[in-house]
Amino acid sequence: MLDRRIVSRCWAQSARNLHYMNAGSFGLPSLPVQKKLQDLIRSMSDNPINFFVHPERHGGLLYQAGVGLLEENRRFVAEKLGANAENFVLVPNTTTAQNAVVSSLVRCGHFKSRAGRPAEIVQTSFGYNATKNILQAAADDTGAVLKTAELPFPLESHEHAFEIIKEQINPQTRLVMIDAISSNEACILPYKKVVAFCREHDIPVFVDCAHAAGQLPLHLEELQPDFAAFSFHKWCFGAEGSGGLYVRPTWHTVIRPTAISHGANSESSSLSRFVMQFAWNGTSGDLGSLTVKTAWKTLESLSSHGVEGVVAANQSMLNEGVDLIRSRLGISAEKLMPPELRAPLMATIPLPPCRVRDLQQSLRDQNFVTQMGTGLSGGQPMIRVSAAPFNRPEQYERLAVALKREIPLFAP
């Protein structure tokens, strides 16, 4: 159970009659996070020198000393993700992390042809569009072949999905990109099996964890991917511009941020060159990463069982809500992702043929915020709904009624 008194103090959109059911896109920062961000902006603007250069005295950003809010947040989040802090850095978002890794691999010649055979990069059809663009750019720049494991919706099982992915991997594979939770399809992929297989065959593997933090328990040092990227504005409800990157020690001397600055040759007695490069890569007013600890502790406070309790309560609400919407629209359960493969806090429901963009706008005009599109196989319309602490069961009932009424109005 969630402590609804705390929830009501942390999010105010319910008072505005806003049915915000799309935490999976941009999250929704809690009021404590918003206040923290405002305080940081005020502190930075009042005296930038104190904020950037003397964090040990003023609690600001980390630059030359191994103290300050950036270092405090970095170590806190690393521990929550089961990562050694020396293998983890804060970045603005998952996309920034992926660009840093892939561009570094391009720079060091990792994707060069060998023995006359081009390198190969493997992704899945469930991958995020921005990620696909990053990998395609790397293939274009190096001559590598980008291969896609075509996954069906809904998946039959993790074993079936793993076999489809494994078929695309061979000795020429130089990188495998796998989502922990896919965005559009809202399903858990067999990322643990893929990581174990890649480790066994000495193939670098990158886990996209944009939707994982705040939904799945993570133990990065046990999982041991080569790389993992995070966004904390989604399911941790941090400020936009808060993300993370995990890199195995083997790659510390290879991976660089996309912006090289003073951190590249900073003389820090307490932090590695890898950490310093990402900590000090140009003056920035993007302070989202300094809110992650506040966001995480706020989330933990909502249940006596911490984040796990929050996930359990919201997952139950989501499953009931999805079943309600599905039944109201006459959609069979077999058309949806099986519950055991579904992301804990978001679900994708295929819709009857309709002008989905017009339908989405109509719903927004009625204060329903959801993710809709034609991203399923064959361009089938879909709606993705989320379950967050600020959502209530009656919102799914109201959405079901609205969909039942509106879909016929937007026939193709």
Q: Cα 332 vs. chain centroid, distance in angstroms?
A: 29
The pLDDT of residue 103: 98
pLDDT at 269: 63
Q: What is the pTM of this model?
A: 0.95
In a 10 Å sphere around its CB, with 0-12 CB exposed, 13-18 middle and 19+ buried, how is residue 405 labelled? Answer: exposed
Mean pLDDT of the residues in the chain: 92
- Give the integer Cα–Cα distance in Å for 106 and 104: 5
pLDDT digits (tens, 9 = 90+) for 258-274: 998 877 887 766 788 89
Please, where are the H alpha helices in 183-269? 191-200, 220-223
Write out the DSSP string of 295-325: HHHHHHTTSTTHHHHHHHHHHHHHHHHHHHH
**How many Å apart are CA 234 and CA 24, to the nearest integer?**
6
Between residues 174 and 267, the one the model is more confident about: 174
**Could you read off the pLDDT of 32-76 as tens digits, one per residue?**
999 999 998 888 888 887 777 665 544 445 544 445 788 889 999
Cβ atoms of residues 305 and 85 within 8 Å: no
Q: How many CB atoms lie within 10 A of CB 303?
A: 21
Lowest-pLDDT range of 13-17, 165-169, 197-201: 13-17
Dump pLDDT digits (tens) for 355-396: 999 999 999 999 999 999 998 877 899 999 999 999 999 999
d(CA 403, CA 400): 5
Contacts of 133 (CB under 8 A, 6+ apart): none
Structure tokens at 46: 């009042």
Of 217, 312, 248, 332, residue with least CA distance to 2:
312
| Mean pLDDT value of segment 323-351 | 96
